[in-house]
Amino acid sequence: MTQIIPNLSIIVAADSKNGIGIKNTLPWHLSDDLKRFRAITTGHTIIMGRNTWFSLPKRPLPDRRSVVLTPDPLGEEGATETSTLSEVLEICKNDSENFIIGGESMYSQFLQYASKIYLTRVVGNFDTDTFFPELSSDDWSLDEESEVMTDSKSGIQYRYLTLSRKG
Ligand SMILES: NC(=O)c1ccc[n+]([C@@H]2O[C@H](COP(=O)([O-])OP(=O)(O)OC[C@H]3O[C@@H](n4cnc5c(N)ncnc54)[C@H](OP(=O)(O)O)[C@@H]3O)[C@@H](O)[C@H]2O)c1
């Protein structure tokens, strides 16, 4: 049985069909969601795949420890590089909360270990080529759900959900 890691969380924004990205970028721009991401992750360890690292316009993200899973050297400063899942799990021992921040390959590998999910549910079906895994209600319970909000620039609607692992 997979070991659940109490201080490993996932943070993700996904549309109604679990789409998360397109051509190595985000399908939407939600200013409040980016602020929320910063507020939740600041001071902690953020763990991402190679593609997500290179998708960041300014990297590393300030005031956070970046860990990148990559088969090849990044050739850039600012991140702890690793090529094994077990090393990532070892690194998690050093922080009170660690966040898997994407992308698809990372969510699919680490969902089984995570204890908490900060999910921004973006209303609608966007053009996407990467996806978040389906969540089973056998495994996850809903702790909090915000009202639906509307981004003032794009009109895109979204809400914040917090889920925790059952049992
Ligand atoms: N909506 C959101 O919240 C959100 C958040 C973050 C990212 N995104 C989006 O997600 C998309 C990127 O997702 P993605 O799946 O293409 O990329 P990704 O997960 O960011 O990175 C994949 C890369 O990481 C490497 N990697 C992953 N696991 C590894 C392991 N166990 N060992 C060694 N290397 C490993 C892969 O190497 P290999 O070559 O070995 O496969 C591959 O090069 C982008 O569109 C991005 O904008 C969305």
Query: For position 77, what pLDDT does the model report?
Result: 97
Query: For position 64, what pLDDT does the model report?
Result: 98
Ligand 1 centre distance from Cα of residue 102 (Å): 6
Q: Which regions of the chain are under pLDDT 70?
A: 1
β-pair partners for 47: 67, 100
Ligand 1 centre distance from Cα of residue 106 (Å): 6
Query: For position 89, what pLDDT does the model report?
Result: 93
Query: For position 165, what pLDDT does the model report?
Result: 97
Is 2 part of a structural domain of the chain? no
**CA-CA distance, 144 to 154, in Å (whole number)?**
25
Q: Is the CB of 105 under 6 A from ligand 1?
A: yes
Is 63 part of a structural domain of the chain? yes
- The residue type of 27 is P
For the full predicted model, state whether its pTM sits above 0.95.
yes
Query: For position 22, what pLDDT does the model report?
Result: 98
**Structural domains in the chain (count):** 1
Q: Is the CB of 12 under 6 A from ligand 1?
A: yes
**CA-CA distance, 101 to 96, in Å (whole number)?**
16
Is 1 part of a structural domain of the chain? no
Answer whether 137's CB lies under 8 Å from 54's CB: no
**CA-CA distance, 26 to 53, in Å (whole number)?**
13
Is 115 part of a structural domain of the chain? yes
pLDDT in tens, 125-143: 999 999 999 999 999 999 9
Atom of ligand 1 nearest to the CA of 14: 1
CATH number of the domain residue 118 falls in: 3.40.430.10
Q: Is the CB of 59 under 6 A from ligand 1?
A: no
Query: For position 79, what pLDDT does the model report?
Result: 98
Is 139 part of a structural domain of the chain? yes
Answer whether 125's CB lies under 8 Å from 108's CB: no
Which positions ≥6 away from 157 have C-beta within 8 Å? 122, 123, 124, 148, 149, 150, 151
